[in-house]
Amino acid sequence: MKVWIDQDLCTGDGLCEEIAPAVFTLLDDGLAYVKEGDKIFNSPGGAEGLANIPDGMLEAVVESAEECPGECIFIEE
């Protein structure tokens, strides 16, 4: 499973990073991005910045997507 964020809709509240810090990170621009280890998908972000969800993290990623106030976390097969 993979995950991406639509930064155009991100409010920058950081909920996703609180729930799943291994997958989401806030950058200096105040927006959240997905990551794989040290690799942050911010160039490009959006739908072109798809990160693999690590084993065992799917539940936290789903919770992040459900809680996300911007409704901008998208999970794909």
Q: Which residues bind ligand SF4 (CB under 6 A)?
A: 5, 10-16, 24, 32, 68-70, 72-73
Q: In angstroms, rounded to a whole number, what is the distance separating the alpha carbons of residues 77 and 75?
A: 7
According to DSSP, the residues that pair with 29 across neighbouring strands are: none
Q: Could you tell me the smallest distance in angstroms from the CB atom of residue 24 to ligand SF4? A: 6
24 φ, ψ to 5°? -120, 145
Tokens of 11: 């409010």
Query: Whole-number minimum distance, CB 50 to ligand SF4, in Å?
Result: 14
CB of 77 to ligand SF4, least distance (A): 20
